[in-house]
Amino acid sequence: MKHIQIFDTTLRDGEQSPGVSLTAGEKLEIARQLAKLRVDVIEAGYAAASPGDFAAVQTIARAVKGVSVCSLARATENDILRAYEACSPSDAPCIHLFLATSDVHMQHKLRMTRDQVLQQIDSAVRFARTKVPFVEFSAEDSGRTDFDFLVQAVKTAVSAGATVINLPDTVGYLLPQEYAQRFIRMREQVELGSALLSAHCHDDLGLAVANTLAAISAGVDQVEVTMNGIGERAGNASLEEVAVALALRADMYGVDTKLELSQIARTSKLVSRLTGMVVPGNKAVVGANAFAHESGIHQDGVLKERTTYEIIDPQVVGVVENKQLVLGKHSGRHAFFKHVEELGYVLSDQDLQNLFMRFKELCDKKKQVTEEDILALVDERVYGEAQHTYTLDYLHVSCGNQPLSTATVRVTGPQGVREEAAVGNGPVEAIYRAIDRATGEEVELATYQISSVTPGQDALGEVRVQVRVNHRLFTGRHVASDVLDASARAYIDAINRYTIMRVAPALLVK
Ligand SMILES: CC(=O)SCCNC(=O)CCNC(=O)[C@H](O)C(C)(C)COP(=O)(O)OP(=O)(O)OC[C@H]1O[C@@H](n2cnc3c(N)ncnc32)[C@H](O)[C@@H]1OP(=O)(O)O
Ligand SMILES: CC(C)C(=O)C(=O)O
């Protein structure tokens, strides 16, 4: 199988997204993750652009091994020298030179003639090759470049020693078949020797991934992509979409990459967090909805057999917490019943049917039905008729910057009023230990989440916990302005949901 080299430009073209500016430390963190994802080349920045970018490229070249580290450079001596100094500590240093070849760029931006451009390509590539073994030449705006002139530019770069020839569609203008033809014709007209052909696409027409895949079909050796598709203007071809398309449709492309697909979700989250570029929910492969199903017929299909509506196994791309079934107006009984069961309830068939009718009524009134709404519906049915097993009457916590915190609780339960105290590594652990003593229930804390539900300093804090008993999870939740109080009550809430099975078995038969 032919190997396609993945040239990741998240830290260079991706950083050109408006509003994004990464520190050297943040770039290093992303570069380390890109190395785990096993990209072939990391374009770490543009060394001549600023001292910070120089430092970032150099730090990455020093610290991240087993991958080629590259810097962008204009076709000028100073840019080339800065790029060289920054990326030379890499195992495989690479300078990425670019010069525009389209008439509009040459005439208005560079103010150079065709001959001058050819001459500058020749001298810049030759100079860069005296510095590093890998020199990529990009004919900027190649998509709008007169093809015969593009052939001349590529011949010049190859004879000057370029090891990679990139034909970027800088402004995202080309259609897939046109882009593919350019590579096919280029190979026919230029003796490339050992030089690789590379594709670099922008998403101005939403075609960056389609164009990249078309270029692969046309025989390119390398593709230039960014995580989450971030980049100048509408962005670049997204790494994850190209990677998954190649893996899933190996029958069509017959190529492979070195990528460790299971690192995709983690890399996506890191890039989103550090760049501040939020991944849209409907983004392919890494969006929050990429593996979520809302409509009843789809949910029923997925419950019976995942592949009815899912072509990608979320685990393959490293999605571990998969919120597969999203409840809403379009959901059906199968998904609703499963959801109620996952919340820890075992209800009679009749109760389930009644609850489902109430759920549908609520969906007509509310745009989004949250887990809390469903809990409230079930609680109305279950707690409406049963007493809460435990209530928290009093809570006192002592904590600070010392290792141990202490908590005292007073809980009313079947054994009467009990007061207990405990220490913990933090206030929440101390509270939960004290509650465990006061209730005597044997539950294991499985998850703990805290978030603010309103803005500002006086925000309400929401705590959600899950406790595990005999392999079953019970969810508890509480909202309060004091997060420790919310933590204690959410825990008691989860314990109550578990104990309801003992105190009101008649409600929970199945
Ligand atoms: C398609 C792409 O993504 S290209 C990469 C885009 N990335 C960036 O621009 C990175 C951030 N850029 C910067 O920090 C700055 O623009 C710098 C440091 C690179 C240059 O800054 P300045 O020297 O102030 O120049 P400025 O950006 O205003 O203008 C660009 C100059 O480079 C010239 N130029 C543009 N491309 C090239 C090239 N490939 N080779 C040589 N010169 C070039 C322009 O013609 C212009 O020259 P002029 O000053 O003689 O008119
Ligand atoms: C520097 C080149 C490859 C580029 O980013 C583009 O043309 O979009």
d(CA 329, CA 356): 11
Measured from the alpha carbon of residue 143, the closest ligand is 2
Are 459 and 372 part of one and the same domain? no
What is the number of structural domains in the chain?
Answer: 3
Q: Is the pLDDT of residue 384 over 80?
A: no
Ligand 2 atom index nearest CA of 140 = 7
Percent of the chain with pLDDT over 70: 93
With respect to residue 254, please indicate whether it lies within any of the assigned structural domains.
yes
| Closest residue to atom 46 of ligand 1, CA basis | 110
Q: Which amino acid is at 352?
A: L
Ligand 1 binding pocket (C-beta < 6 A) is: 13, 16, 46, 48-49, 74-76, 98-99, 109-110, 140, 170, 232
Residue 169 included in any domain: yes
Strands 5-8 and 222-225, bridge-based pairing: parallel
User: Cα–Cα distance between 282 and 289 in angstroms, integer?
Assistant: 5
Looking at the structure, do residues 152 and 73 belong to the same domain, yes or no? yes
Asked if residue 78 belongs to a known ligand binding site, the reply is: no
Give per-residue pLDDT as tens, 350-377. 888 988 998 888 888 776 677 767 777 7
The answer to whether residues 442 and 469 touch, using CB atoms and an 8 Å cutoff, is: yes
> For 168-219, how does the pLDDT look when each residue is reduced to its tens digit (9 = 90+)?
999 999 999 999 999 999 999 999 999 999 999 999 999 999 999 999 999 9
51 sits in which H/E element:
helix 51-63
The DSSP H or E segment spanning 452 is: strand 444-452
pTM recorded for the entire structure: 0.77
User: Of the residues 382, 407, 423, which one is the last residue of a structural domain?
Assistant: 382
Residue-range definition of the domain harbouring residue 125: 2-275
Q: Does 508 fall in a domain?
A: no
Which ligand 2 atom minimizes the distance to the CA of 236? Answer: 8
Residue 196 backbone dihedrals phi, psi, to 5 degrees? -90, 155
Kindly state whether residues 190 and 94 are assigned to the same domain.
yes
458 in any annotated domain = yes
Residue nearest to atom 7 of ligand 2 (CA): 170
227 and 369: one domain?
no
With respect to residue 507, please indicate whether it lies within any of the assigned structural domains: no
* CB atoms inside a 10 Å sphere around CB 423: 14
pLDDT at residue 101 in the model: 98
- Gap between the Cα atoms of 459 and 476, Å rounded: 20
Domain check: are 304 and 249 in the same one?
no
Instruction: State which amino acid sits at residue 21.
Output: S
Asked if residue 431 is part of any domain, the answer here is yes
CATH code, domain carrying 138: 3.20.20.70
In a domain? residue 291:
no
Cross-strand bridge partners of residue 449: 464
Same domain? 184 vs 101: yes
Q: Final residue of a domain: which of 243, 275, 307? A: 275
Cα-to-centroid distance, 19 and ligand 1 (Å) = 19
Q: Which of 20, 21, 71, 74 to mutate to test the pocket of ligand 1 (most atoms within 8 A of CB)?
A: 74
Give the residues surrounding ligand 2 with Cβ less than 6 Å away: 13, 72, 98, 138, 140, 166, 168, 170, 200, 202
Burial class (CB in 10 A: 0-12, 13-18, 19+), 415: exposed
Q: Any idea which ligand is nearest the CA of 142?
A: 2
Average pLDDT rounded to a whole number, residues 440-452: 91
Is 13 annotated among the ligand-binding residues?
Answer: yes
Q: pLDDT grade, residue 461 (50/70/90)? A: confident
